[in-house]
Amino acid sequence: MRYLNVAEKNDAAKNIAAILSRGASQRREGFSPYNKIYEFDATVMGQQAHMIMTSVSGHLLNYEFGPSFRNWKSCNPVALFDAPVVKMCPEDYQKIKRTLEREIRSCQGLIIWTDCDREGENIGFEIIKVCSDVKPNLRIYRAKFSEITAASIFRALNTLGQPNKNVSDAVDVRQELDLRTGAAFTRLQTLRLQRVFPQKLADRLISYGSCQFPTLGFVVERYQAIQDFIPEPFWKIKMNHTVNDITTEFTWKRDRLFDKNACEAILDICKESPNATVEKVEGKPKSKWRPLPLDTVEMEKTVSRKLKITAKDTMKIAEKLYTQGLISYPRTETNIFPKELNLANLVTLQQNDQRWGAFAHRIMNEGGPAPRQGKKSDQAHPPIHPTKHADNLTGNEQRVYEYIVRHFLACVHKDAQGFETVVTADIAGEKFTAKGLIILEKNYLEVYTYEKWNAKEIHSYQQGDTFIPSVLELYEGATAPPKLLTEADLIALMEKHGIGTDATHAEHIDTIKTREYVGLHENIYFVPGTLGMGLVEGYNNIGLEVSLAKPILRADFEKDLKLICDGLKDPEVVRREQIQKYRAVFETVVEKMRQIDECLANRLADRPQVVEDEHYENVEVRPVLKCPKCGNDMTIRNKKNNAGKFISCTGYPDCRNAIWLSQNVETIEVLDESCPQCGPNVKLVKMKFKQNVFVGEPNPNTLCIGGCDINVLEALDINLSSVKRTNGVRNNQNHNIHQANANNVPNNNHNNGHTQNHPNPRRDSWPSNTTTFNPTPGPSGPSNRSNTTMNQDDIVCACNLEAVQLTVRKDGPNKGRKFYKCKNQTCDFFLWASDEPSNANTTINSQQQNDVKCKCDLPASRRTVSKEGPNKGRPFYCCPKPMGQGCGFFQWADEDNDGGGDGGPGDDGHGGGPQRRAPKTKTSRGAPPYRAKRKCSKCGQEGHTKNKCPN
DNA sequence: GCAAGGTC
C-alpha cells in the first residue's frame, strides 16, 4: 500500500517525515522548489506501507470571479454579489498542484496532515479535490495532531480519522463572502472617490475588507471618544505621614469629590482636629499570579508592549521559529496545556541555558511544572511553548524566542508571594488607608523579567497609634480622557469582537496603516488619518442599521460560520443570507454616497467634484443556461477587442465550452423567464441583430438557445452539443412546433396577462430568401393588416413612417411578389403587399383544415398538443394567423364544433374558457417561443441549411 | 488595482 501524505507547509512535511521515518526518509524534488517530497516506510493501521510525504503551501485554491468580472469596469460592483465565482489554482501554485497530481498516481491512499484548524480542514479538501480528480476511489484519511512532536505525530498516525466537511464548508462560505464584499465595496469606493477627490485621492486604493474596516472603526471610535471628552475637575484630600525618611501615603476613603466646596469643608473639619488614629492594621498574604499558558493574542500583545515589536513582525518571527522546530505552532487560541503534553521534558530541555537554565532546574527541583489553567481551547493546538533549546539566535528572533521560553517557564512555576499590610486611620471621622507590601518569594518573577512587582515600604503602625499627618491638604485634579489605542489594545478589541484570526490580526492592522487610514502617534498610539476618519464617519452617518465600520456584521457572520462547523446550519443558507445582508448594505451605501462624499470633504478639506455615475460595461450577470459539459453556469461575455459576444462556461479554463455568437448579434439580454420546454435552467434571451436573421419577426427577438428549437440554433450557427447534452438524437422540430402552439394559442393568458413574445412567429430570410412564410410586421407594425386590402398609404413602418412598396427581384418562389419595407431602412419592418399564401407555405399551412374556419373566416390550422398533460396528443384547430394578430379561435378537433370545449390544451391548471380569448398583442415572457421549420437559404427546401445544402 | 486566509 502506498500513501500520499500531504502537510500544509514544507517544514511540517519535513519534520513529520523525519519523525515517522525516524530520520531515514529520502528526499526528492517536486515541481515547486519549496515543496519537497520525502519517501519512507511506515506502519499504517498495523500494516507496512510506503509513504510519500509532501506539502502544499497553505491554500491551494482560491475563489475568483469569472473572467468577465475581473476588470474593474466590467460591471457595476453590485453585480459582484451575484457574479459567478470559481475556485482556481493560482499560477504560482500550479507547480504544487502538479506535484500532487503526479505523486498521487502511484498511491492508493491519501493522508491529510494539514493543520488541525478550520483553514487546515479546508486546505485538506482542496488537496482531496486535486488528488481525487486524478485518481478516484482513493482511501482518504485525516491525521489529527496539535504539534510536531514524535508522540503527537505517531498518535495521529495510529488514530487516523476522516476530514470534516462541515468545517471546510464554513471556510468556503467565508472565502466567498469576503471576496464578494471586499471587491464590491473596494471598487465602489475607489472608483468613485478617486474622481470625487482627484487632488487628494486620485492614486489611492480605497479598500474595504470585512476585517480591516472594523479595525479602522476601533481606532476612530477611540479617537472620537478622546475628542469628545470633556474633563471634569475633582478634589480630594491628600494625606501622608513621614517617619524617619519613610513616607506613608494614605488614600482618602471617599477617593474624590466633584464639589470643591464640599471637599474644602471636609478638609477644614479635618484640619480642626488633625490627629490621626490608627483604627485597624490588617496583614494578609498576597500573591501575584504567574501568567497563563501562552496563546497567540497574548504573545502579540505582550511582545508589542514589552519588546516593542509589532504584531506582524512577531508572527513572522514566531512562524520562523516554529518551522525551525524551536517552538510549537504559534497560532493557537488555547491557554490550557493538554494532559498528555510532557511539560517536564520541555522544562528539562532548557536546563543548560545560561540565562534561564538554573530556573528550569529549580522548577524540576520544586515539584516539577504546574501550570495555571486558562479557559480557552481551540481543540487544535496547545499553548505556545519552546520545543527545543536554542542559544544561537540573534536580534528579534532571539528576543521573541527568549520571551516564549521565559513565559513558558514562568507559567509552569509558582505565583510570586508577598505580604500586604493595610492600615486604616481616622481623622475627624474621615477614613484613610495605606498599603504596604513585602515581597517574600519572587518565584516566576525571577524568570519573567517583563513584569515587576514593587514592594512598598510603610511605617510600622499598631492599632491605637496616633499621629499628626505630615501633609493634609486639598488636591485638585481633573478626569482624563481614555488613551489612544496601542497595538496591544487594538488586538484585544479585535479578539473581543471576533475580527480576524489570531494569525491575521497583525495583518489587518498593517493594512489600515498601509492604506493610510491610520497613522501612529509617538510611534505607539494609533490615530485615524483624514481618509480613515472621513470614511468611518460617512458609513456611521448614512443610517445603516449596522455600520460597515462596526464589528457587528463580521461577528454575526462568524457566529454563523461556527454553526456550520458544528453541523447546525446549512452552509448554503448562510451563504444566501449573508450575501443578501451585505447586498442590502451596499445598495444603501450607493444611494447615500453623496453623504459619504460630504464627510470626506470635511475631513480632507477638499471640495468634492460633481461626477457622473460611473460607466460600466454591464456584463450580463444572469446565467443563460447550465453548461451541458460540466454543469456550471454559462454567462454572456464580450469577445476580445469588443468583437461581439459569446456565452462562456464559468468553469473556464477547466471547462472550455462556449457558444460563439456571430457579429451580427448586436445585443443579447438574459430575461428572467426560463424556457418552459428546456426547464428552469435555461433562460430566454432577447437578441437584437444588426441584420435580422428571422425576417418578419421582431428585432430584437426573444429566443431560446437551449436547444428546444433546432431552427434557432441553426440560424445562429450554434452547435447543439454546446447547449444541450446530446446523445446523437436531434430534436424533433415538429414536436417543438406543436408544443409552442399548444402552450400559446388557446391558453395564452396564463402569465399574468402577458402573452406570447412573438407577435409574429413566422420568419423568413427577407426578402431575397426564397422561402415563403407569410412575414408580418414586427410589434410596432400595423397589426391585422396583412389580411385586408391595403393601400400603400396605409402602411406605416416601425419608425412610424410611410412604408415603401418594393418587388422581389431575386429568382425563387417569391419573385415578383410585392412587399413593404421601411423607406429609410432604419427599421426592420417587412410586410408582403398581399397575404396570398405562397405555394411554398409549409408546416403550418400544411396542417390547415379548410372545412373549419376561424373567426377571421380563414381556414383554421389543425395542430396537436404536444405539451405533457392530460391533453397531450389531442388535435385542435386555431387561427392560422401569427400570434398576436389572429382572432384567438380555438376548437378541439375531436369535438363537435359547438364553440365550447373544456379548455385549451395547456396543462397549467388555467384551462377552461380562454378558447376564444384574443391573444394580446403585447409581447409576453414565459411563453415558449413559437418556431416553424427553417428552410435552406440557398435552395429554399426544408430539412437542411445552406451549410449542408446538397443542391 | 479588490478580501481574508493559508504560506515561501
CATH code for the domain in which residue A371 is found? 1.10.290.10
Is A662 among the domain residues? yes
Q: Nearest nucleotide (C1') to the CA of residue A203?
A: B1
Q: Among the listed ranges A85-89, A225-229, A822-826, which one has the minimum average pLDDT value?
A: A822-826
**Nearest CA to the C1' of B1 belongs to which residue?**
A205
The pLDDT confidence band at residue A754, using thresholds 50, 70 and 90, is: very low
Domain boundary among A366, A384, A413: A413
Q: What is the mean pLDDT of residues A4-23?
A: 93
Is A790 among the domain residues? no
Strand B atom within 7 Å of A64 CB: yes
Is A852 among the domain residues? no
The pLDDT confidence band at residue A919, using thresholds 50, 70 and 90, is: very low
Task: Report the domain count for chain A.
Answer: 6
Chain B bases closer than 7 A to any CB of the protein: 1-8
Is A906 among the domain residues? no
Strand B atom within 7 Å of A68 CB: no
Strand B atom within 7 Å of A503 CB: yes
Q: A51 - beta bridge partners?
A: A3, A40
Strand B atom within 7 Å of A658 CB: no
Cα A508 to Cα A110, A396, A505, distances in angstroms: 35, 22, 5
Do both A67 and A155 map to the same domain? yes
Q: Nearest nucleotide (C1') to the CA of residue A35?
A: B8
Contact A604, A534 (CB under 8 A): yes
**Nearest CA to the C1' of B8 belongs to which residue?**
A34
DSSP output for A382-417:
--B-BSS------HHHHHHHHHHHHHHHHHTS--EE
The predicted pLDDT at position A813 comes to 56
Q: What residue numbers bound the domain in which A457 lies?
A: 233-289+418-478
The predicted pLDDT at position A256 comes to 96
Do both A563 and A691 map to the same domain? no
Q: Which of residues 15-44 of A touch strand B (CB under 7 A)?
A: 32, 34
Q: Among the listed ranges A581-585, A593-597, A757-761, which one has the minimum average pLDDT value?
A: A757-761
The predicted pLDDT at position A465 comes to 96
**Nearest CA to the C1' of B5 belongs to which residue?**
A119
Q: Which of residues 540-599 of A touch strand B (CB under 7 A)?
A: none
Strand B atom within 7 Å of A175 CB: yes
Is the pLDDT at A157 greater than 70, yes or no? yes
Do both A656 and A690 map to the same domain? yes
Find the Å distance, CA of residue A188 to C1' of nucleotide B2: 10
Q: Nearest nucleotide (C1') to the CA of residue A316?
A: B7
Domain boundary among A359, A384, A413: A413
Is A617 among the domain residues? no
Do both A125 and A256 map to the same domain? no
Helices H / strands E in chain A, number of each: 21, 31
Do both A189 and A84 map to the same domain? no
Contact A925, A671 (CB under 8 A): yes
The predicted pLDDT at position A925 comes to 24
Do both A523 and A442 map to the same domain? no
Closest by CA to A487, choosing from A522, A461, A453, A456, is A522
Rounded CA-CA distance A389/A325 in Å is 10
> What letter represents residue A508's amino acid?
H
Q: What is the mean pLDDT of residues A744-769?
A: 28
Do both A41 and A154 map to the same domain? yes
- Give the strand pairing for A47-55 and A2-7: parallel
Q: What is the mean pLDDT of residues A311-324?
A: 89
Domain boundary among A553, A576, A604: A604
Is A692 among the domain residues? yes
Quote the mean pLDDT of chain A.
80
Is the pLDDT at A336 greater than 60, yes or no? yes
Closest by CA to A834, choosing from A813, A810, A817, A811, is A817
Q: Nearest nucleotide (C1') to the CA of residue A205?
A: B1
Is A738 among the domain residues? no
Strand B atom within 7 Å of A186 CB: yes
Find the Å distance, CA of residue A503 to C1' of nucleotide B8: 16
The predicted pLDDT at position A805 comes to 74
Provide the percentage of residues in chain A whose pLDDT is more than 70. 75
Do both A362 and A504 map to the same domain? no
Is the pLDDT at A765 greater than 50, yes or no? no
Do both A493 and A577 map to the same domain? yes
The predicted pLDDT at position A812 comes to 61
Question: Which among A109-123, A665-679, A782-796, A807-821 has the top mean pLDDT?
Answer: A109-123
- Phi, psi for A893 (deg, rounded to 5): -80, -20
Is the pLDDT at A251 greater than 90, yes or no? yes
**Nearest CA to the C1' of B4 belongs to which residue?**
A178
Is the pLDDT at A695 greater than 80, yes or no? no
The predicted pLDDT at position A832 comes to 53
Is the pLDDT at A904 greater than 50, yes or no? no
| C-alpha cell read off for A23 | 530520520
So which residues of A are the catalytic ones?
329
Is A927 among the domain residues? no
The predicted pLDDT at position A544 comes to 86
Q: What is the mean pLDDT of residues A499-517?
A: 92
Do both A547 and A641 map to the same domain? no
The answer, yes or no, to whether the previous bond of A231 is cis (omega within 30 of 0) is: no
Q: Among the listed ranges A117-131, A136-150, A354-368, A933-947, which one has the minimum average pLDDT value?
A: A933-947
The pLDDT confidence band at residue A576, using thresholds 50, 70 and 90, is: very high
Do both A679 and A545 map to the same domain? no
Q: Is the pTM of this model over 0.75?
A: no
Strand B atom within 7 Å of A325 CB: no
Q: What is the mean pLDDT of residues A73-88?
A: 93
Is the pLDDT at A894 greater than 80, yes or no? no
Strand B atom within 7 Å of A147 CB: no
Q: Nearest nucleotide (C1') to the CA of residue A191?
A: B1
The strands making up A233-243's β-sheet, listed across from edge to edge, are A466-467, A276-288, A416-427, A430-441, A246-252, A233-243, A471-478
Provide the percentage of residues in chain A whose pLDDT is more than 90. 54
Do both A281 and A423 map to the same domain? yes
The pLDDT confidence band at residue A810, using thresholds 50, 70 and 90, is: low
Is the pLDDT at A53 greater than 60, yes or no? yes
Rounded CA-CA distance A671/A655 in Å is 25
The predicted pLDDT at position A652 comes to 67
The predicted pLDDT at position A351 comes to 97
Give A366-375 pLDDT, tens digit per residue.
999 999 988 8
Pick the residue with more confidence: A716 or A104?
A104
Q: Nearest nucleotide (C1') to the CA of residue A60?
A: B6
Strand B atom within 7 Å of A187 CB: yes
Give A443-493 pLDDT, tens digit per residue.
999 999 999 999 999 999 999 999 999 999 999 999 999 999 999 999 999
Strand B atom within 7 Å of A70 CB: yes
